[in-house]
Chains A and B, each alone.
Chain A
Amino acid sequence: GENVEQHPSTLSVQEGDSAVIKCTYSDSASNYFPWYKQELGKRPQLIIDIRSNVGEKKDQRIAVTLNKTAKHFSLHITETQPEDSAVYFCAASRISGGYNKLIFGAGTRLAVHP
Chain B
Amino acid sequence: GAVVSQHPSWVICKSGTSVKIECRSLDFQATTMFWYRQFPKQSLMLMATSNEGSKATYEQGVEKDKFLINHASLTLSTLTVTSAHPEDSSFYICSAIYGYTFGSGTRLTVV
Spell out A's residues near B (CB within 8 Å): 34, 41-46, 49, 89, 99-107
Asked if A43 and B93 make an inter-chain contact with CB atoms under 8 angstroms apart, the answer reads yes
A71: shortest Cβ distance to chain B, in Å? 19
Please pick, from B42, B45, B97, B102, the residue contacting A44 in the complex, using a CB distance under 8 A: B102
- Nearest CB to that of B46 among chain A residues? A101
Asked if A102 and B95 make an inter-chain contact with CB atoms under 8 angstroms apart, the answer reads yes
Question: How many residues on B have C-beta within 8 angstroms of the other chain's C-beta atoms?
Answer: 20
Query: Restricting to B53-111, which residues have a CB under 8 Å from any CB of A?
Result: 93, 95, 97, 99-105, 107
Asked if B105 and A43 make an inter-chain contact with CB atoms under 8 angstroms apart, the answer reads yes
A-B residue pairs in contact (CB < 8 Å), sample of 8: A34-B100, A43-B103, A44-B44, A45-B102, A49-B100, A103-B46, A104-B43, A104-B46
In angstroms, Cα B102 to Cα A89, docked, is 14
Interface assignment of B51: CB less than 8 Å from any CB of chain A? yes
